[in-house]
Amino acid sequence: MYSVKKTVAAIVSSLVLASSLIFQPTFVTKAKTEDKNNGDWNNPRVTKWNTDEAELMVRFGDIDNFGLPWGNVDPFSGEETAAHGYPYKPESDDADGTDRIMVVSGFKGSGYATDGYTDSTYGQWDYDTQVRPVTLTYDLKGIQVHNAYIQMFVDDIQPSKFEIVNGEEVNRGRDGFSRNSRNVYQVTLSYKKNGKTISERIPSFETVVNNLDQHGPIGKLITLSVPDQYLDYIRYGGSGLSIKIDDPVNPTGDGYAIDFVKLLVNKKDDYTVNNGTVKGGVYEAKYVGNQLVLDKSRPVIGAKVTISGVKDPITTNNKGEYISDKVPAGQVVVTAEKEGYASRSVTIPTLLAKGVITQDIGIINLAPPVMPVISVNTEAPTNQDVSVTITYPEGHVDKMYRKDGGEWKAYTGTFTVSENCKIEAQSTEKRKVGDTETVELKSGIAEKSISNIDKIPPTGRVIIDDSDATKPVLKLILDPGCEDSEIILPGSTVVYDNNTYTVNGTDITLSGIKAATISSDGKEVTCYVDFGYTFRFKDRAGNIGTAYGESNLPWKVPVKDR
């Protein structure tokens, strides 16, 4: 294949940005390279059985760095290439979808940011930039598929690196178009069965691709482990297994290319030539501002660590540690997750074969804030307003409460209620769990029923026992629910008919004449003359009720004294 670029007057250095790499038309002689695991690198279609690496290897696309010299770079070592010139075109024998610049289908031609690949090829009569899948054909020859991996050498993929931090967009792209891209790539596997296309996006593949940042442009190897639930695509895709990388949604123009795609079926664990080691610890963490701070005194035991290109996840030990020496060289995405925590992925841009990288990961605990505690100034019956105090956990939590299921309100301090009700309280916290993600966590709802407020006086009535007509008895009968009221005995005087009577022990007298006697419990008054008495009684809440009765005697002097 060959590379072409328009002539300009600039002199370029050995390593410059992609947008400034300019080449005159140049023809590159293909390397005479062959190995037992990949076959002839110049052959765009190779199938090999029972290699050192796997039971079956299928490769589509020649291994030629898009027609440019490899230099000292071994594409399987994980090392990324130096920045190189563009644009370039496929040769007639290149596998479809390889060695060609393809522009995402979401780009419609103008009005949006574009990268150098798009600028130099899109809409040009001699460039076909339509996104093509790479379609592999193969015969399993009875092989039972236990695992499968797809390796791709890709060029200049620049997904969006925009993030929302504290409500504002922040771009973490390397440079150039990476800082303008809005592209989010979809990665799809498909095959045909009984004339029908079976197709599905593979989330773990998309995670790897969308973590690339190949501004340069530079080439890089990625390894995709086919999840077990998608292995049927490998089992039944021999007549045409397609893998497609595209962003059909977002309008920014990212052009990219694929040098080769390599399928490994039943990869052998004991082949480690192109593997590196990734190790580290998983720890609880929290954000301090925009900085994720790991608390290494709090290791997360039993966390599941998934490493791109490695089939089986690793479980952290009792120190929160993980290690894998089976990681294919190239870009690596490490994900840590555990129930009760927010999962987190970290990208290792380049892992070299035989290299060792330590990558600690911090994950945010999703335990809700502590449930608040509701207390009152008294639990005893009272006829006064009750003061309510709510104690919330320390930290950045929103303190909320409500009354009788009404609207939630912000708690600002102790408040009073004047009637019986139910108070509910809850702690809510907006916890940052990722560079661009915040979740709202809520505690359980604390409840407190206030039922000790009683502002209604007790009631009763007075009946007259006139079985002895000469000295009727006024008897207090407390109404139901008021029976436990305390009788308030009279003070030293009582008033009836504008006269002030003296109370001396149980006797009630006026000018030395005994008008009545009161029982020791205060519930009965025996009258000897025309007399009326007001009974007073107090409930447990302190409310005072009254009941009045009169003797209805027509005389003012006791019968015996007349």
**Do both 279 and 319 map to the same domain?**
yes
* 21 confidence band (pLDDT: 50, 70, 90): very low
The whole-number pLDDT of residue 216 equals 82
Using alpha carbons, list the distances in angstroms from residue 166 to 181, 291, 397: 21, 12, 17
Q: Which domain holds residue 42?
A: 34-267
Q: What percent of the chain has pLDDT over 70?
A: 91
For residue 331, which phi and psi values (nearest 5 degrees)? -75, 140
Residue 19, domain member (yes or no): no
In the predicted structure, residue 14 carries a pLDDT above the cut 50 = no
Q: Alpha carbon 181 to chain centroid distance?
A: 26
Beta bridge partners of 135: 242
* 434 confidence band (pLDDT: 50, 70, 90): confident
In the predicted structure, residue 156 carries a pLDDT above the cut 90 = yes
Q: What percent of the chain has pLDDT over 90?
A: 80
**Do both 263 and 390 map to the same domain?**
no
In the predicted structure, residue 496 carries a pLDDT above the cut 60 = yes
Global pTM value = 0.73
In angstroms, rounded to a whole number, what is the distance separating the alpha carbons of residues 294 and 281? 10
**Do both 57 and 118 map to the same domain?**
yes
**Do both 109 and 231 map to the same domain?**
yes
Across residues 151-174, what is the average pLDDT?
A: 77
The whole-number pLDDT of residue 112 equals 80
Across residues 4-31, what is the average pLDDT?
A: 35
In the predicted structure, residue 198 carries a pLDDT above the cut 80 = yes
Residue 561, domain member (yes or no): no
pLDDT tens for residues 461-475? 999 999 999 999 999
Query: Two tokens at 134?
Result: 């790479």
Across residues 329-352, what is the average pLDDT?
A: 95
**Do both 236 and 168 map to the same domain?**
yes
pLDDT tens for residues 374-392? 999 999 999 999 999 999 9
Beta bridge partners of 286: 293
The whole-number pLDDT of residue 172 equals 66
Alpha helices, DSSP H, located in 141-282: 203-209, 231-236
Across residues 130-143, what is the average pLDDT?
A: 96
Query: Of 33-37, 416-420, 539-543, where does mean pLDDT reach its minimum?
Result: 33-37
**Do both 385 and 498 map to the same domain?**
no
| Number of domains the chain is built from | 4
The whole-number pLDDT of residue 19 equals 38
Residue 406, domain member (yes or no): yes
**Do both 430 and 523 map to the same domain?**
no
In angstroms, rounded to a whole number, what is the distance separating the alpha carbons of residues 263 and 47? 9
Across residues 529-548, what is the average pLDDT?
A: 97
Residue 14, domain member (yes or no): no
In the predicted structure, residue 3 carries a pLDDT above the cut 80 = no
* 255 close to 131: Cβ distance less than 8 angstroms: no
**Do both 333 and 384 map to the same domain?**
no
More confident residue, 1 or 351: 351
The whole-number pLDDT of residue 175 equals 63
**Do both 196 and 338 map to the same domain?**
no
Residue 423, domain member (yes or no): yes
The whole-number pLDDT of residue 128 equals 92
The whole-number pLDDT of residue 182 equals 87
**Do both 351 and 391 map to the same domain?**
no
The whole-number pLDDT of residue 15 equals 34
The whole-number pLDDT of residue 13 equals 30
What H or E segment, with its residue span, contains residue 325?
Answer: strand 321-328
Looking up residue 316, the CATH number of its domain turns out to be 2.60.40.1120
**Do both 258 and 177 map to the same domain?**
yes
For residue 9, what are the contacts with CB-CB under 8 A and spacing of at least 6? none
Residue 26, domain member (yes or no): no
Across residues 86-104, what is the average pLDDT?
A: 94
The residue out of 365, 391, 414 marking a domain boundary is: 365
In the predicted structure, residue 29 carries a pLDDT above the cut 80 = no
In the predicted structure, residue 2 carries a pLDDT above the cut 70 = no
What H or E segment, with its residue span, contains residue 356?
Answer: strand 356-358
Q: How many CB atoms sit inside 10 A of residue 227's CB?
A: 14
Q: How many CB atoms sit inside 10 A of residue 57's CB?
A: 24
The residue out of 450, 477, 500 marking a domain boundary is: 450
Region of 309 on the Ramachandran plot (φ > 0 left; ψ -120 to 50 alpha; else beta) = left
Across residues 231-254, what is the average pLDDT?
A: 96
Residue 17, domain member (yes or no): no
The whole-number pLDDT of residue 436 equals 78
The whole-number pLDDT of residue 169 equals 62
The whole-number pLDDT of residue 263 equals 98
**Do both 413 and 329 map to the same domain?**
no
Residue 13, domain member (yes or no): no
Across residues 513-535, what is the average pLDDT?
A: 96
Question: Mean pLDDT score of the chain, rounded to an integer?
Answer: 90
Does residue 530 sit in helix, strand or coil? coil
Query: Two tokens at 491?
Result: 């003070």
In angstroms, rounded to a whole number, what is the distance separating the alpha carbons of residues 294 and 365? 12
pLDDT tens for residues 403-430? 999 999 999 999 999 999 999 999 999 9
State the pairing for strand pair 415-417/398-403. unpaired
The whole-number pLDDT of residue 410 equals 96
Looking up residue 508, the CATH number of its domain turns out to be 2.60.40
* 11 confidence band (pLDDT: 50, 70, 90): very low
The whole-number pLDDT of residue 18 equals 35
